[in-house]
A = this chain, B = another copy of it.
């Protein structure tokens, strides 16, 4: 696995994450039509509201996930495959989160925690990678 370029691994994981997000956004649009939620409202039916929160929470998480994944990719520490591997766990955690949330919002915590923990780990890798780059320019 070490001979595959880091950016290729991260691009692959990025596409998977965006496919999940695209699906969650399409579902909101479909439910809006099916359940008769007239724009600009974003409330009015429990199922719609759950789907919309799944989408928006995923966007909120993507705002951390994608920048961190790519900082990890371009400022790598020794284990260059670790960030993309964590990214796969992030995507899997999102699928778990979405299925649980649509069923019962109170059961969303395991899925939410797993992508939150991945973001925290990607943060640590980003700080280590950027700190190493600072040391290399002489600080």
Contact = CB atoms under 8 A, between A and B. Distances in A.
Contacts of A41: 49
A27 interface: no
A25 B56 CA distance: 13
A22 B123 contact: yes
Interface string A118-131: 01000100110010
A126 B40 contact: no
A1 to B, nearest CB: 11
Contact of A19 (B112, B123, B134): B123
Interface string A92-119: 0000000001000110100010000001
Interface in A47-64: 49-50, 52-53, 55-56, 59-60, 62-64
A66 interface: yes
Contact of A11 (B38, B52, B71, B112): B71
